[in-house]
A and B are shown apart, each in its own frame.
Chain A
């Protein structure tokens, strides 16, 4: 891993890491928490950066929904149209993706354009 990227990770600087990925020619997307209701692990404005290989930096929850957000982000990278995702309480029996903490979170996913 490049020293600059590691430094950005150590600083919890999601956008700097995404910019570094982009400089290496990777396609990237950014997911941002735009709303929360009830208990939620990460506040509004928290961000997750995703590259075209599925690498992640930052977070939009305590790890509950990042995988699902990353899958959507890969589609957004392909298609270009941003998406708003909403995640609520998980239902373990239905194998749904959700938040174990019982809150609801809204996430905006956008592609980084050239």
Chain B
């Protein structure tokens, strides 16, 4: 691989653009494809380019028919937006980062979302609804609210429910959660909408400490991402 291509892959990742690298495995000659244009020394036929596009769409790396060309799809990292720069967030943010998520922590309360508390994590001090409008969660994003405060959690959940986020979760016990659902129902959300919120957040693994609760939420997020049921109801 040319160093130039290595940097190109890094740039695509940083700008959240999908990129496919196509390699002829007999000699290592490569090109890359941004979905439209193919750049590099390796020429592709129309059928091959179409097959590359299908693999990019499905985030599915593999050999093309003929077993000569390998397509490596570099999809943008999955994102996690955490609302509430609280103690649990201090555990969840680095754990999710290790699991490959691009993490942003949102909290308008200046004393919480500090770089001392969240070294190396992207922070936003916007109100949650403004922050989510900027961050625009897509189908490769998860939104988790941790504040326990309806003033912060509700606007975040409202924005999340209007997005195609693959995972939405809200911390809070059963009573807190049922009151929350009641407010969102009054705001016009249907039962189908509300069923998208995993609450209480996390898998039932008896989690009590902030780190354990973070692990239960991360595990549930991973399960949902891989199409498994989000066995509900763990964290208080």
Contact = CB atoms under 8 A, between A and B. Distances in A.
Interface in B26-67: 27-28, 61-63
Given A34-B70, A35-B62, A108-B23, A22 B6 contact: yes
Interface in A83-111: 84, 108, 110-111
Nearest to A80: B28
B72 interface: yes
Interface of B: 1-3, 6-7, 9-10, 13, 23, 25, 27-28, 61-63, 70, 72-73, 94, 97-100, 120
A30 to B, nearest CB: 6
B93 to A, nearest CB: 11
A32 B70 contact: yes
23 contacts: A10-B97, A10-B98, A11-B100, A12-B98, A12-B100, A13-B13, A15-B6, A15-B10, A16-B10, A16-B13, A19-B3, A19-B10, A22-B3, A34-B70, A45-B72, A84-B25, A108-B23, A108-B70, A110-B1, A110-B23, A111-B1, A112-B3, A113-B3
Interface centre among A11, A12, A108 (most CB of B within 10 A): A11
A113 B1 contact: yes
Q: Is the interface of B mostly helix, strand, loop or mixed?
A: mixed
Nearest to B73: A45
A58 to B, nearest CB: 12
Contacts, number: 58
Nearest to A12: B100
B10 A44 contact: no
Band of interface residues on A: 20 to 34
Interface of A: 7, 10-13, 15-16, 18-19, 22, 30, 32, 34-35, 44-45, 81-82, 84, 108, 110-114
A13 B120 CA distance: 15
Contacts of B63: 34-35
B6 to A, nearest CB: 5
B13 to A, nearest CB: 8
A108 B61 CA distance: 13
A110 B28 contact: yes
Contacts of A81: 27-28
Given A22-B3, A34-B70, A10 B94 contact: yes
B6 A7 contact: no
B9 A44 contact: no
B4 to A, nearest CB: 9
A35 B72 CA distance: 11
Top-9 shortest CB links A-B: A45-B61, A82-B28, A34-B70, A113-B2, A44-B61, A110-B28, A12-B100, A110-B1, A44-B62
Contacts of B62: 34-35, 44
A108 B25 contact: yes
